[in-house]
Structure 1
Amino acid sequence: MSIRIALLACILTLFGCGGGNGSLTTYTVSGTVDHLSSSGLTLTNGTTTIAVAAGATRFAFPDQLTNGAAYRISVASQPGGENCVISQGGGTVAGANVGNIDVACNTVISSPTAIGIYPVATAPDGYSRAYVPVTMVGNNPVSINATLDTVSAGVVLNAFDVVPPSMVNINGFDFPAGQSTITYNGITVTNNVMTTYLNGQGAGINFGLGTLFGAYSTNGPLIRATGNLAYAQVTFGSAGDVTTAVLPILLVYQVSTSANGTALPSTVASNVFGVGGTYTPIGPLTGAFVYPGTCATPPGSSNACALLSPLRSVSFSSNVDPGFLLAPLTLQNCQIGTQGSCAAVPSLTVGVNATTTQALGFASGWTSNTSCATLNLTYVPPASVECSTYIGDLTTLYFDNHGSETRALLDTANSGMTLGTLDTGFPSTIAAGTQVTIQFGIAIRGNLADVYTYSFTAGTGNYTTTILPTTNLNDIGIGFFTTHRYYMDYETGQFGWV
């Protein structure tokens, strides 16, 4: 009798306590954290809330989930000065620990914030440029000085400055068999091979005229750049001041010019930080430009996409509009890329509002009457308008007793001044010392009779002046920005100067 009781007890214990073959295996839910620099972040799975410390790179919930259990992770509270976004935060446990959740934190601009950039009189290629220091791509520390471009939009980077040479060569990225993406230190490289143009007059402006504008070079030879569409966060500013949300970037592995053929991308010309108000079209290897309204997110495999200003992918408080302000640039005689040679100056301010622009005198300045449209892209916080930096207002060009109606770009990426003189009778060259006057026809106050006049002397300093008799587009270069304040508001669709 006692033996039977003992056996019964064992059987009850076995089945009641989950022993033997009936035991339940449980799994954990965890993930990575990117760019969390302040405290206050808490995550929840609906029943348990955990705090994530500043500087943490991983998190894990203490809960144990069974196979087939559903989970959904969300942000319970945001850290100070940052906005954290979760990707792959929901799903069902499938017989393994869950570890692919990512929490990416980007900077919140609560008031217009000045960051350090490098305005340089003579870059290694002989041209005047302003450089934005890029200190991190994804979670990968880099040391890149990217040309600040007020006309084009988006981040274009030399792939060899970002990823190890084992991943890429002059013929492209090395994708493992059967894979359409490569992940490296927070960077997702897709197999979408794209092409765009660098150094071209008006390169990247959204008018369906890529071939026309790409036909003229402003800083040396026109460069056709080929690379892969990638997605990553970008940290920029001389002190690593601002981190974006995940955004599309173009990683260039090959460039070509009509004179020199195919070559590896250069550190100077192939790193671009475009803050223009529209989007830069990029297309497949046929060279055809595409103007999509949406953009795939990783691991998307769309055939075309567009690049946007990285300043759109920063978060802004309700009292600050997405955009930027550029103070007058003092070009330094220094060696960019040489440690300690160039001094960072706080000339670029991220975020604009009425208080800032009025205090700086923009109420009595000028703005373009440019066309704008709603920009609805899922990776842009917040959704805003896109406006071309092409000044379509009546603009008149005068020199050597000649006058012509033209259009204009204000272009920090142009080291010189490129003048379009489509009208007959204009000289094909312009002598150094010639006074040039450009009048913009519509002022911010709406008075059609109120014009703004910009004058400069051809051939002074490094500002080479080039005449293009076959176009009516003036590409007004960096010299303009040495004497003017300039702003662009992506939310209201305005840009102006004083």
Structure 2
Amino acid sequence: MKKLSTILCGVAMIMVIASCKKESSGTTTAPVIKSLATLGLYEYTSGTSKRVFMPVTKVGTQTVNYYTVFDTGSSGLTLDASGIIPASMITTNGFQFTGDSVVVNGITITSKTSIMSYGDATNLTKEYGNVAYATFTLGDANGNIATKRIPFFLYYKVMNSVTNTQLPAHSVDIMGVGPGYSFASTLIQSPLSYFDVGTDLKQGYRLAAFNAANFTTAGNYVAGLVSIGLTPTDLATSTGFILHPLTFSSSGGYSGNIPGTVVYNGTSTAAQFLFDTGNPTQTIIENTKETNAIGALPANSTVTITTNRGFKYSYVTTSTTNLTTVQNPNNTNDYRSIISIDFFINNQYMMDYTNHQIGLKNN
């Protein structure tokens, strides 16, 4: 992940709600309800891999300049401790402090340890750290918003469990904006779910469709991609979003997996779809009917995704885009069919934390 240079600026984002206005004719116009804030993302590409990054420019009292992967496929903010707390507190075996918790640079680090895992059995990355609490500034000089004190996962090392190698600091900073709880701790949820959006909005966000031309090797800032706080208009059926109610489990909270069917080159199978901006390269279709993993679909393969609520999306693979692999979950230990970031170039996405539903819309 290429570090992007920015100039920090403390810009406060203000919720604008127009009040009712009495017209001279005696009629009353309806109030215009807007999102709490609208932020941009950095679109970055390297080869066939694409990423979208949300800057974090303040943690507690510490001014920083880190870029977190904007990830609809996980829940909770994970951040490397390097550069945020004194280096003397960080070892490969954990944080050095006594007692139940410690406060440093406005960050409360608790003694509750955990491991956050990303990937599947074929390529697993693990972060080792502690549950912590802090205020954050999300975004940079192009537009930002300050959070209240929220829980997050502060990690001291990150490992590739397949090669058993330690990865560089801040190489796996993730802003998980999915529903439910973090796999690291049920105390941690999406940082975008904690905003007080008032009575006119619902907790959640709307993600505009990405433009393939904006993905660059330098990292291109694109304004207006993330609208925090859902308006009644966002949730109205007339906007074209198809809403998918989510299922609750006691361990993970509300799951982002959406039931449906996938058809690839004439083969059809039931699926649990996870629409995942954090998957940078290829869609992974899990099919228990495949006796062996057949691997990558060839170029010019047609794939059609249909959810249980009637949302439909089709694409054709090429040698560089819409890359798709078919696996058997017995090999990956993951039954979910994970839809890659290429999906978001042609479609819009909405996460409704209040009503526990995901909206999908063809662009």
**TM-score bucket (shorter structure):** 0.7 to 0.9
Matched residue type, 1:458: T
Partner of 1:235: 137
Partner of 1:260: 163
In terms of mean alpha carbon deviation, does 137-146 or 365-374 score higher? 365-374
- Residue identity (%): 27
Partner of 2:100: 180
| Structure whose CA Rg is larger | 1
Q: Comparing both chains, which one has the higher relative contact order based on Cα–Cα distances under 8 Å and sequence gaps of 6 or more?
A: 2
Partner of 1:226: 128
Partner of 1:313: 194
Change (3 A) 1:362 1:81: closer
Q: Would the aligned equivalents of 1:146 and 1:272 in 2 still touch at CA under 8 Å? A: yes
Q: Would the aligned equivalents of 2:278 and 2:341 in 1 still touch at CA under 8 Å? A: yes
Name the CA distance, whole Å, in 1 between partners of 2:64 and 2:222.
17
Partner of 2:314: 455
Matched residue type, 1:435: T
TM-score, normalised relative to structure 2: 0.81
* Partner residue of 2:115 out of 172, 175, 195: 195
* Partner residue of 1:155 out of 63, 77, 86: 77
Are 2:19 and 1:113 aligned? no
| Uncovered stretches (5+) of structure 2, i.e. residues with no partner | 1-9, 17-32
Name the CA distance, whole Å, in 2 between partners of 1:278 and 1:473.
16
Partner of 2:216: 334
SS in 2 for 1:355: helix
Name the CA distance, whole Å, in 1 between partners of 2:319 and 2:36.
34
Are 2:276 and 1:411 aligned? yes
Are 2:265 and 1:400 aligned? yes
Partner of 2:352: 489
Partner of 1:445: none
Name the CA distance, whole Å, in 2 between partners of 1:463 and 1:222.
22
Cα deviation, residue 81, structure 1: 6.2
Q: Would the aligned equivalents of 1:362 and 1:496 in 2 still touch at CA under 8 Å? A: no
RMSD: 2.9
Cα deviation, residue 490, structure 1: 0.8
Cα deviation, residue 195, structure 1: 0.6
- Judging by fraction of residues, say which structure has more strand: 2
Matched residue type, 2:112: N
Q: Would the aligned equivalents of 2:291 and 2:328 in 1 still touch at CA under 8 Å? A: no
Change (3 A) 1:174 1:462: farther
Change (3 A) 1:486 1:191: same
Q: Would the aligned equivalents of 2:117 and 2:183 in 1 still touch at CA under 8 Å? A: no
Deviation by residue 1:17-38 (Cα, 9 ceiling, x = unmatched): xxxxxxxxxxxxxxxxxxx988
Name the CA distance, whole Å, in 1 between partners of 2:34 and 2:103.
32
Q: Would the aligned equivalents of 1:328 and 1:482 in 2 still touch at CA under 8 Å? A: yes
| Uncovered stretches (5+) of structure 1, i.e. residues with no partner | 1-35, 39-79, 83-108, 201-213, 283-303, 376-385, 443-450
Name the CA distance, whole Å, in 1 between partners of 2:45 and 2:209.
14
Partner of 1:354: 232
Cα deviation, residue 365, structure 1: 3.0
* Partner residue of 2:121 out of 181, 192, 215: 215
* Partner residue of 1:469 out of 328, 334, 340: 328
Partner of 2:24: none
Are 2:268 and 1:366 aligned? no
* Partner residue of 1:271 out of 139, 148, 173: 173
* Partner residue of 1:140 out of 53, 56, 62: 62
Q: Would the aligned equivalents of 2:211 and 2:345 in 1 still touch at CA under 8 Å? A: yes
Cα deviation, residue 180, structure 1: 3.3
Partner of 2:256: 389
* Partner residue of 2:288 out of 419, 422, 439: 422
Cα deviation, residue 315, structure 1: 1.4
Name the CA distance, whole Å, in 2 between partners of 1:424 and 1:118.
38
Q: Would the aligned equivalents of 1:121 and 1:128 in 2 still touch at CA under 8 Å? A: yes
* Partner residue of 1:165 out of 87, 92, 98: 87
Deviation by residue 1:264-283 (Cα, 9 ceiling, x = unmatched): 44433x2000111111122x
